Amino acid sequence: MKITARYLGTTRPNRVVLNMAADPKCAEGNNGKKVGNVNLLVNKDMTVRNVICFVKDFATDKDFTPPADKALLNQRGCMYDPHVQTVMIDQAITVRNSDSTLHNIHTFAEKQRSENFAQPMKGDERDIVFKRAEIVKIKCDVHPWMSAFIGVFDHPYHAATGDDGSCIIELPAGDYEIGGWHEDLGDLDPVTVTIKAGEVSEIDLEVPG
């Protein structure tokens, strides 16, 4: 199933240039280029990046095994990359510092223990794992403009919209309610969809403007 997040506003939000002057290594990491905020990215076709999409209230007797492949949260150019992603419970996430400056990883979770640790050296890596389903915010206490969001789920039917404002979720045939979440807007209105075997379904999630 293809999900596209569509912005309902009439004009695209302006991006604000981030002030990274407090740490010269940040400008160095971006080759001197200006970097804009990433909290609400609307494309020219009014699609929206970084929307977490998922099956709501998914109920099954099946125990899903988390992917063996680790997710990656990279700190590069004093920004988190990716800004938004989704994982399963117990799926390892490698946090990496690709900058020549100190970073701090501070997670804000409601249903589990928060993490708070430093990565002072370029190349530092550490794995973290979340044990309960929720959306976790991550901040760098050293660079206050740095933030990321990780959607943690107890099933594999989730994804975040990419650069083209869409994502793909592979679903078996059945009836589903698809939810969405955005860091500035919270929960989006869900959409009900029927998936038929052998067919590709496409839906839009509306993002208020």
User: Structural domain of residue 153, as residue ranges?
Assistant: 2-207
Distance CA 28, CA 61 (A): 51
| pTM, 2 dp | 0.95
* Local structure of 113: helix, strand or coil: coil
Instruction: Write the CATH number for 48.
Output: 2.60.40.420
Q: Please state, in angstroms and rounded to a whole number, the distance separating the CA atoms of residues 42 and 29.
A: 25
Per-residue pLDDT for the chain (209 aa), expressed as one digit of tens each?
A: 999 999 999 999 999 999 999 999 998 888 888 999 999 999 999 999 999 999 998 876 678 999 999 999 999 999 999 999 999 999 999 999 999 999 999 999 999 999 999 999 999 999 999 999 999 999 999 999 999 999 999 999 999 999 999 999 999 999 999 999 999 999 999 999 999 988 889 999 999 99
Total domains present in the chain:
1
Q: Which residues touch 125 (CB under 8 Å, ≥6 apart)?
A: 94, 95, 96, 97, 119
The Cα–Cα gap between 153 and 156 comes to 7
How far is the C-alpha of 175 from the C-alpha of 169, rounded, in Å?
A: 14
